[in-house]
Structure 1
């Protein structure tokens, strides 16, 4: 029998909040602002993101290095990539996010009888702005920035980092996230139960709990089984 849940960890992006403008829209605007013909798509950036985490200190440095490398790989001037990265930074406002429906209420309700933390892939300054924008900057006892404080998810290390900070055990902890490539497998590798915010796809790996929305956490599924 599973241990009672006393700790809940959350992902941030597309779990607690979402950008008002998609990354694809911001990238298109950045190409237009610089007058550079588009030479890569947003998924190319996302796929390469983790490769630049260890060699840069800020999201701006990471994006600049990544875009320059993408340009070079495609036979383009790396300075064009750097220019697009600067325009992307000007277009992207990390405060321009909205809480997902039910997210703030879920955090408030769970905070009454659970210890709460965050395990998120993303730079500290960027992620802090998002939490502040949705009024949750003081809601968590620990925020682990995977890729900076520890290896990026799905590595189990950032989850262990959070558990150590909270002095709690994996078998009494649930991680809530939307990603089947980072949140669910990372949590499972660390021995946590995963609660997946569903997107309509067939989950693989299969999480312990599937949430239709964040409002499902107003009455946590682990308290009704």
Structure 2
């Protein structure tokens, strides 16, 4: 297979927060002076329930936390206050590369057209890229839910490839999510490279390439 372009996901593919979200949420509850009534996993599990195209992550968090408060018999204002405290505690630029990610991006940028396709608003994701110092490595950056539909819709992949001038059949997408990245890549006609966080998983859908770390991506597994 001839590859002309490599697209990357961002969160939990290239980088992760240095401070876990659960710790940030605990600090937010403490700031507001209320007992915790939901874990951070609830927000992640129900993200799509509250997400709207063009959303700022801060608005989404306020809306979802208010709903969680109401469901727990609390005033919605308490939920919004926790969301505000969460944002005050969270430094979006305080991220670090996953092992091998810096090298994978460097290698891809030297040999291919390179783009970033990420679900997340530009305000948040731009700070992560600034923290990593790699914003200039990507010829195109497409924010799912803002510049196009959220992954796994094929639109953000089409948008990136149109800007790069590369056909889907000559591109690969690297990401950690089976539902967003692998499914989205296949929906758009790209080959998928799945960053496998758990070797015991029998993936569905099945990715074209399965790698244990981003070090493997630098070795170009599609060859």
Q: TM-score, normalised by structure 2?
A: 0.94
1:144 is paired with a residue whose SS is strand
Q: Give the C-alpha shift of residue 54 in structure 1.
A: 2.4
Q: Give the C-alpha shift of residue 156 in structure 1.
A: 1.4
1:182 is paired with a residue whose SS is helix
Residue correspondence of structure 1 range 53-64 to structure 2 within 5 A: 53-54=51-52, 57-64=55-62
Q: 1:166 maps to which residue?
A: 164
Q: 1:121-173: per-residue Cα shift (whole Å, max 9, x none)?
A: 11101101111111111000111110111111111111111111112111111
Distance in 2 separating the partners of 1:55 and 1:122 = 10
Q: Give the C-alpha shift of residue 51 in structure 1.
A: 3.7
2:31 is paired with a residue whose SS is helix
Residue correspondence of structure 1 range 80-91 to structure 2 within 5 A: 80-91=78-89
Distance in 2 separating the partners of 1:123 and 1:74 = 28
Q: Structure 1: which 5+ runs fail to align?
A: none
Distance in 2 separating the partners of 1:55 and 1:40 = 25
Asked if the contact 1:5–1:172 (Cα under 8 Å) also holds between the matched residues in 2, the reply is: yes
Q: 2:206 maps to which residue?
A: 206
Which residue of the other structure, out of 26, 38, 45, is the alignment partner of 1:40? 38
Does residue 104 (structure 1) correspond to residue 124 (structure 2)? The answer is: no
Asked if the contact 2:118–2:143 (Cα under 8 Å) also holds between the matched residues in 1, the reply is: yes
Distance in 1 separating the partners of 2:56 and 2:112 = 32
Asked if the contact 2:53–2:149 (Cα under 8 Å) also holds between the matched residues in 1, the reply is: no
Which residue of the other structure, out of 178, 181, 188, is the alignment partner of 2:179? 181
RMSD of aligned Cα (Å) = 1.4
Report how many aligned residue pairs link the two structures. Answer: 221
Asked if the contact 2:54–2:146 (Cα under 8 Å) also holds between the matched residues in 1, the reply is: no
Give the stretch that moved more between structures: 47-56 or 78-87: 47-56
Distance in 2 separating the partners of 1:219 and 1:60 = 38
Q: Structure 2: which 5+ runs fail to align?
A: none
Distance in 1 separating the partners of 2:175 and 2:190 = 12
Q: Give the C-alpha shift of residue 205 in structure 1.
A: 1.1
